[in-house]
């Protein structure tokens, strides 16, 4: 089994992904020529705060814009909103710093970052509106990825998605905590304790 590509769904495939795809594909072809049975897979990091950043920016600034309306592939549109999130976050940080907040506190407390953190909480709770937006935007990204994969001749026997596997890991952590294998340390992560 070879796993490669492994993109996030908050931006288009970039040169690093292409390098990994070509290396993975090349290794798979070498192994096939050697007579090995090869199973090619990719895992998409399709959940988390980075995904919510694109979603919040789209929700706040896109006015419903679709890839078709923008005339771009879906992964590029979503990536544009991820970049816009970063720009708006910087602007909001500057205002908070100017008002006397430390850079570290400002980074965590901009309105746009708080909105992304809340969106992640809502997604994990299964909020239908948030999950619907997540499905729509990931759909755009997967369509864009598919166009790129087809263009370069990449294919996978199986695509895995973090959104379908992260709870399994969470269960292992909970089990480790209950057995005393792990310890719980209070710290702020994405504004959560």
Residue 133 Rama label (left phi>0; alpha psi -120 to 50; beta): alpha
What's the chain's average pLDDT?
93
Rounded CA separation 90/112 (Å): 10
Residue 62: CB partners within 8 Å, gap ≥ 6?
Answer: 81
Q: What angle do CA 120, 159, 126 make, to 5 degrees?
A: 25
Full-model pTM? 0.85
What does the pLDDT read at residue 193?
41
Tell the burial category of 190 from Cβ atoms under 10 Å away from its Cβ (0-12, 13-18, 19+): middle
Domains and CATH numbers, the chain: 2-178 (3.40.50.620)
pLDDT at 31 over 90: yes
Rounded CA separation 68/91 (Å): 29
DSSP string, 79-119: HHHHHHHHHHHHHHHHHHHHTT--HHHHHHH-HHHHHHHHH
Tens digit of each residue's pLDDT (9 = 90 or more) over 37-94: 999 999 999 999 999 999 999 999 999 999 999 999 999 999 999 999 999 999 999 9
DSSP 8-state secondary structure symbol assigned to residue 74: H
β-strand partners of 43: 160
Tens digit of each residue's pLDDT (9 = 90 or more) over 77-88: 999 999 999 999
What does the pLDDT read at residue 172?
86
């Amino acid at each position: 089994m070879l796993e490669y590509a492994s993109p996030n769904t908050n931006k288009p495939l970039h040169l690093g992904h292409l390098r990994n795809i070509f290396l993975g594909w090349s290794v798979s072809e070498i192994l096939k020529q050697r007579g090995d049975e090869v199973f090619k897979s990719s895992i998409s990091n399709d959940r988390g705060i980075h995904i919510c950043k694109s979603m919040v920016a789209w929700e706040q600034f896109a006015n419903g814009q679709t890839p078709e309306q923008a005339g771009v592939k879906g992964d590029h549109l979503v990536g544009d909103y991820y970049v816009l999130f970063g720009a708006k976050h910087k602007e909001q940080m500057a205002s908070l710093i100017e008002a006397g907040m430390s850079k570290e506190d400002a980074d965590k407390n901009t309105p746009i970052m708080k909105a992304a953190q809340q969106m992640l909480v809502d997604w994990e709770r299964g909020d239908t509106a948030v999950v619907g937006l997540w499905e729509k935007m990931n759909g755009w990204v997967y369509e864009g990825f598919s166009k790129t994969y087809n263009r370069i001749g990449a294919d996978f026997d199986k695509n895995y998605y973090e959104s379908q596997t992260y709870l399994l890991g969470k269960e292992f952590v909970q089990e480790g905590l209950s057995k005393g294998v792990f310890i719980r340390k209070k710290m702020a992560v994405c504004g959560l304790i």
